[in-house]
Structure 1
Amino acid sequence: MGPAWLWLLGAGILPSVHCQTFPAHKGRSLGIPQAPRDQLSAPAPAYHKITPTVTNFALRLYKQLATETSGNIFFSPVSISTSLALLSLGAQADNPNQILEGLGFNLTETPEADIHRGFQSLIHTLDLPSPKLELKVGNSLFLDKQLKPQQHFLDTIRELYGAFAFSANFSDSTTTRGQINEYVRKQTYGQVTDCLQEFTQDTLMVLLNYIFFKAKWKHPFNRYQTLKQESFFVDERTSLRIPMMHQKEMHRFFYDQEMACTVLQIEYSGNALALLILPDPGKMEQVEEALQPETLKKWDQWLQPSLLDLHLPRFSISGTYNLEEILPHMGLTNIFNLEADLSGITEQLNKTISRVSHKAAVDMNVWGTRAGVASGLLSQPRALNTTSAPQARFNRPFLVLLWEVTTQSLLFLGKVVNPAAG
């Protein structure tokens, strides 16, 4: 039997201009796990048992990717960890434990059943409708029509991960690839197109995960101040002229002298926020090395609201990774060995996973969200005291972390080295 593909997708549309006046800034905490306020006696949601591990896995994976590329990085920790956890349900022998431990779970502290219930709770909560935040998470399994999947596996992944299985003719690889690409394009509202690259005719399974995210800024940028071209210094020798978004607004931010970086939190009108980290010139590697969950908690405690003169580039970047080359460095080795046993999915599928592909895209575009723009064209920017506002000019490579606040989960993580690279 042929190999299986594990395809992990994340699509993100970040917000746009929306000329409208909002209430005064109240501030929200980063998505760092902590005891729920005023609910200490209530049982914590099941996702609280997994989100800290997903965050830790995200930072470990980021560091591995950073050693292999000097360009843009962008991926979805929730997408990758969800798919691997789902896959562990179909693995046999010691492979389930090896996958979950590779993700960073301590099975003595968090039993396997609790982990899967945690992902079930996370997916369900992220999928709850919100009037201000578009967030869609999904899993799909495509199996060759000659395979006979285990009914117990299909029932379990549908119950825990909301995953549906589809029969496909993988012997006609061109047609099947087109069908899967079209399916993903529709599920991500056109944000991820032509995602699935060529696969061989002996491929028998594709496991998909996708995330779609779209939100508006809580404090919008003034659209008339975003057309100015400013210099962005990719490195010491390379600079670009790119459009900068500009505003003077209240944000939580902090300058970390020890790590030599500026940390900025920007809120969305929905229950999400972005954390932007701007290292001082020449300090990117130092900041990357120091990225730990404890660092994020420290910043969350030290971020303070203040008026800020902010210059932020419009950018559209994506990341595509063959993770079968990267995950073994993080302890996930057995699923790529010839001995890997995935007979829990189908008895005929007893060969290794040959490809773990992940693609994520993010678009921070002024025109990305058109709702409400026309109605606010006559709004006048508030007069603010320009002399007292410290300046944060994101004109060199910076890190971006996208959080969903309710679940305290890290949806996307990346590094913007070249905002115009696409």
Structure 2
Amino acid sequence: MPFIFVVTYMCFLAPVHQAALPNMTISDLSYKNMDFAMDLYRKISSYHDNNVFFSPLSISTSFAALLMASGGGTHQEILRGLNLQQLEVADQPELIPRLFQLLQENIAQNGSLKVDQSMALFIRQQFEVEKAFEDKMRTFFHADIKTVDFADTKGSVRYINEYIRQKTKDKITEMLSTLDETTLLLLINSVFFQGTWLMPFNSNLTRNGPFYIDNYNIMQVPMMFKEDKFYTMEDVPLGARVLKLPYQEGVSMLILLPNKGIDYTVIDDEITAEKFLSWVKELRKTRLEVSMPKFKMEQEYSLHNLLPDMGMVSLFGSSANLTRLSKEAGLKVSEVRHKAVVEVDETGTTAAAATTTGIIPYSLPRMFTVNRPFFFFIYHEDTNCLLFMGRVIDPSSN
């Protein structure tokens, strides 16, 4: 059976200004994407107790493109899997891809914000893709559409890896090692973010300190240190504290740190889009001494093994309906790979002091020490779009 091969990948390199969102339709999309992200995180984490890192935006965008290619039950399964069924309007078939287009434009409207998202469609020679699908890929996702000789597997792998290397600024150099010579189409989506802290850490203050993986495993890791005024809050029912670390130009990292003695696995099921937005809303500024580990992770996931458990079944089997992609019969998606790289360190340049207007005293301990497993979320503030999320169990493990 001919098949389609999908690759999603992202790369984030790192070392809050908040605005009202005028377009509620983009807000709805961001909210739905966030709940999909939390569901996918729980699916990934159910398989292991290791580090987790992925880009919900990259994965959602790739499958939004496949929505335009699918029909019947396959289309409905993708909608439900992405948690987008409530945004589907019968007489507006282009509404969801249009929302993704608006979201991307909103994120990219600040010219100095380095969040680059791109999509590419690599098509086998002589394979006929519906012109309407190609046109929509260019219109809504600004996709590069390229013809490739997949029969030359080694040449195709080199060509596609070079494309990915350029798009991720050399951070992902070998996404593919092999390709099936019967591949008809390869869909690539990338999200690349390089951020500098608005309030950088001083590398001269970085010292080795203990990180408590669990009650029996303690390791020494490089701990960054910064004393300043930070946005923070405490979720008492959840048993966790939240810290916001802003980057320059409207992107922030939100750290969720379970309280000492609270197992992070207990918190897994409680993380939702509603929870996330409540944390952001309740943040208050206070002076803190923040200690957190430097860490670097590279994670890769075979989503075709995870997504069927989230309802996307037919897409990967003989009953796949991809008739809007091509008139050729018997098409299915064979693989969906997602690779993510993150590096967090002291990097940053000194910026103007944060404003103190509207600061409210908040009774939290002066120390925020991230010395045990924690969650982190990278989000675009104006849209509340979740760009990346992860879980750090062992900051020394790459």
Q: Deviating runs (4+, > 6 A) in structure 1? A: none
CA RMSD of aligned residues (A): 2.2
Match of 1:101 in 2: 80
CA contact (8 A) 2:10 2:55 kept: yes
Match of 1:250 in 2: 229
- The alpha-carbon deviation at position 248 of structure 1 amounts to 0.6
CA distance in 1, matches of 2:336, 2:199: 38
CA distance in 2, matches of 1:292, 1:312: 24
CA contact (8 A) 2:300 2:338 kept: yes
CA contact (8 A) 1:126 1:136 kept: no
**Residue 304, structure 1, aligned to residue 280, structure 2:** no
Return the TM-score normalized by structure 1.
0.86
1:205-284 → structure 2 map (5 Å cutoff): 205-226=185-206, 228-280=207-259, 281-284=261-264
CA distance in 2, matches of 1:69, 1:209: 26
CA distance in 2, matches of 1:125, 1:263: 26
Return the TM-score normalized by structure 2.
0.91
Match of 1:398 in 2: 374
Gaps of 5+ in 1: 16-26, 376-387
Match of 2:293 in 1: 313
Match of 1:113 in 2: 94
1:244-302 CA deviation, whole Å, 9 max, x = no partner? 11011111112222211111111112111111011123420111111122212322232
Match of 1:150 in 2: 130
1:407 is matched with which residue: 360, 370, 383?
383
CA distance in 1, matches of 2:235, 2:69: 45
CA distance in 1, matches of 2:36, 2:175: 24
- Secondary structure at 2:201's aligned position in 1? coil
Judging changes above 3 Å, is the alpha-carbon distance between structure 1 residues 108 and 157 closer, same or farther for their aligned structure 2 residues? closer
CA contact (8 A) 1:139 1:162 kept: yes
* Percentage identity across paired residues of the two chains: 27
Match of 1:382 in 2: none
CA distance in 2, matches of 1:69, 1:332: 22
1:59-110 CA deviation, whole Å, 9 max, x = no partner? 1111111101210100111110110010111123332232122211234765
- Secondary structure at 1:140's aligned position in 2? strand
Judging changes above 3 Å, is the alpha-carbon distance between structure 1 residues 302 and 45 closer, same or farther for their aligned structure 2 residues? closer
- Counterpart code for 2:77: Q
Aligned pairs, number: 384
CA contact (8 A) 1:126 1:137 kept: no
- Counterpart code for 1:421: S
1:299-335 CA deviation, whole Å, 9 max, x = no partner? 2232211011100111111221001111111111121
In terms of mean alpha carbon deviation, does 66-75 or 286-295 score higher?
286-295
- The alpha-carbon deviation at position 143 of structure 1 amounts to 1.2
Match of 1:13 in 2: 13
- The alpha-carbon deviation at position 349 of structure 1 amounts to 6.0
CA distance in 1, matches of 2:365, 2:197: 20
Match of 2:396 in 1: 420
Judging changes above 3 Å, is the alpha-carbon distance between structure 1 residues 75 and 58 closer, same or farther for their aligned structure 2 residues? same
In terms of mean alpha carbon deviation, does 276-285 or 73-82 score higher?
276-285
**Residue 58, structure 1, aligned to residue 34, structure 2:** no
Judging changes above 3 Å, is the alpha-carbon distance between structure 1 residues 272 and 110 closer, same or farther for their aligned structure 2 residues? farther
In terms of mean alpha carbon deviation, does 262-271 or 89-98 score higher?
89-98
- The alpha-carbon deviation at position 46 of structure 1 amounts to 4.5
CA distance in 1, matches of 2:346, 2:279: 28
**Residue 128, structure 1, aligned to residue 95, structure 2:** no
CA contact (8 A) 1:398 1:416 kept: yes
- Counterpart code for 2:182: D
- The alpha-carbon deviation at position 230 of structure 1 amounts to 1.0
CA distance in 2, matches of 1:90, 1:415: 33
CA distance in 1, matches of 2:320, 2:65: 15
CA distance in 2, matches of 1:190, 1:82: 22
- Secondary structure at 2:178's aligned position in 1? coil
1:148-201 CA deviation, whole Å, 9 max, x = no partner? 222111111100111121111111111111110110010110111201232222
- The alpha-carbon deviation at position 403 of structure 1 amounts to 0.4
CA distance in 2, matches of 1:285, 1:321: 20
CA distance in 2, matches of 1:298, 1:90: 36
Gaps of 5+ in 2: 352-363
- The alpha-carbon deviation at position 343 of structure 1 amounts to 3.1
Match of 1:361 in 2: 341
- Secondary structure at 1:50's aligned position in 2? helix
- Secondary structure at 1:266's aligned position in 2? strand
